[in-house]
Structure 1
């Protein structure tokens, strides 16, 4: 069983410095800069899982990064290939042993790049370190997740970040649209040990081994990450907010 659980997703926003989430349903924290990538971010922490809002400060650096071996599979390439269209670009799964995960993927016939060591400065000027692993799948490069191992343990990261958590929210589901739903479903079952928890003639819902976040694959004409679904303890009726090319769904807690 592969050791993965949902970590974060990347939402590319042009003009991030001036962006506020509509209705302030989500609190946005300061992030930092990826100097080598030419990008910077702001963060929406739910718990240890979060949304990374991302923009570009140096397009030349990002284009250069997209031409490297690891950059071919990164969010930088996704943004460029999509014509700098705003919206969700990538999702990331967290693991606790990225080298073991690499061996698991190789044994399942996948091509991998990494682990790649990364760093950035946070809002306090401290360096944050992590490693990334990329998987090559030419059919679904747009939809393929990447994988992260943080330098700190989950317990230490939770202690550092707890004050930013939005405890009235839980991430319930990530929604994809795919023109090859069946193939994508079978691959995610085979590669990532996901189970089908619901299925219709138009969509399939999968659950990862961690069983914390579900993944809905909807039959569509193109391949994209459509939206994120939250359970919100403070609302009485569902809310849909569409902003900067991405859908944010909020539904009340079941009572």
Structure 2
């Protein structure tokens, strides 16, 4: 089992507005195109082959008719089309084998489902997706994606199309994705199910990713996925109110100490030095 972090999906009402705001922060973002059969369209912000997808709906009736169980549209509709984090995608090159293996392990497996997107220039990009659900997991699981082209072919093509391009703000990497959860069992489950190694103990009070006083002293589990880190955190809320599934993605700009900064992503709102996407699920 060999997976790579592929992308993060965030629902927005206006992907083109998201492009404008990302560009104002010094990030390179482009139109992705339209999923004609699903009623959705997107904007993309790439960091090598990993990226943030900002997805919107151009035809809600069409989108509602294509709500495959456990799919992105299913997750978006269940959240009443509220802007915010939707799902994570993990890249694979053995999607048929993965489908068989997860089915044998007791997962509900949907797919592989064929997907394609029409780019602004009229060309198409194609892939397969595998949606997973497990009776022991309420938190939406990542889905698997296998692109029609291999990694090197995609990197070359995306660079030629100016989709992958240097960010005006400098060298920027997607360093990790953090998910705040209530129970460490989520981290243990994801580690076992997706072949992710449990790593360092971390906390992040900026997203209330610390347990309450009775729990295990402000700790959380870090999952390693290739060069990208998926952090699964139990969160305690303020005034005794827990945070359910609150998410924050961070982009860390690498550079000199004076220019180094963190760009949180959650409910697109411009500040002087960051885009913040605040919002909870």
TM-score bucket of the superposed structures, by smaller chain: 0.7 to 0.9
Residue 24 (structure 1) aligns with: 25
Displacement of 1:222 in angstroms is 4.1
1:118 to 1:243, Cα distance in 2 relative to 1, 3 A: closer
TM-superposition CA deviations, 1:202-228 (whole Å, max 9, x none): 3211102x2x11111121234436122
Displacement of 1:171 in angstroms is 1.4
Counterpart of 1:224 in 2: which secondary structure?
coil
Residue 11 (structure 1) aligns with: 10
Residue 170 (structure 1) aligns with: 173
Counterpart of 2:61 in 1: which secondary structure?
helix
Displacement of 1:118 in angstroms is 1.3
Displacement of 1:238 in angstroms is 2.7
Residue 44 (structure 2) aligns with: 43
**Structure with the largest fraction of strand:** 1
Q: How many residues align?
A: 241
Residue 253 (structure 1) aligns with: none
Counterpart of 1:21 in 2: which secondary structure?
helix
Residue 213 (structure 1) aligns with: 228
Bigger radius of gyration: 2
Residue 238 (structure 1) aligns with: 261
Determine the C-alpha separation between the residues in 2 that align with 1:26 and 1:139.
38
Counterpart of 1:164 in 2: which secondary structure?
coil
Determine the C-alpha separation between the residues in 1 that align with 2:21 and 2:245.
21
Determine the C-alpha separation between the residues in 1 that align with 2:43 and 2:139.
22
Counterpart of 2:199 in 1: which secondary structure?
strand
TM-superposition CA deviations, 1:65-105 (whole Å, max 9, x none): 12xxxx12112121111122211101100101101111222
Displacement of 1:132 in angstroms is 0.6
109-118 or 145-154: bigger deviation:
109-118
2:11 and 2:85 in contact (8 A); partners too: yes
1:222 to 1:60, Cα distance in 2 relative to 1, 3 A: farther
Aligned mate of 1:229, from 240, 250, 261: 250
1:197 is aligned to 2:212: no
* Aligned-residue RMSD, C-alpha: 2.2
TM-superposition CA deviations, 1:99-135 (whole Å, max 9, x none): 1111222333322111111112112211211111011
**Unpaired stretches in structure 2, ≥5 consecutive residues:** 203-217, 236-241, 277-281
Determine the C-alpha separation between the residues in 1 that align with 2:56 and 2:172.
25
1:78 and 1:142 in contact (8 A); partners too: no
Residue 76 (structure 1) aligns with: 73
* TM-score computed with the length of structure 1 as normaliser: 0.86
* TM-score computed with the length of structure 2 as normaliser: 0.78
1:56 to 1:238, Cα distance in 2 relative to 1, 3 A: same
184-193 or 159-168: bigger deviation:
159-168
Counterpart of 1:198 in 2: which secondary structure?
coil
**Unpaired stretches in structure 1, ≥5 consecutive residues:** 250-255
